[in-house]
Amino acid sequence: MRSTRIAACLGMIVALPGAATAAETATVQSLLRQEFAIVGATTSRTGGGVLFLQKKDQLFLCFVTETPQSPTVTTRYCKPVE
């Protein structure tokens, strides 16, 4: 069963050409460099914002955070939406 999950994860990485791989963590900035567009935004119940980035049939959900003292808004993490 474990090898099946590993194969599924590898298949997902292969299915996302040009998207961030395990070696490069996806961020809003890295996805924008790959010509993803922000197609939606909302707030999170846990604080911060949520951005939806899309390129053709690929969709990512990214959580961002900031504080009054932070110089920038920071990507907490991004995940592909299946």
Does 81 score more than 60 pLDDT?
A: yes
Distance set, CA 23 to CA 16, 20, 26, 32 (Å) = 14, 8, 9, 18
pTM exceeding 0.85: no
pLDDT of 17-51, one tens digit each? 454 444 579 999 999 999 999 999 999 998 899 99
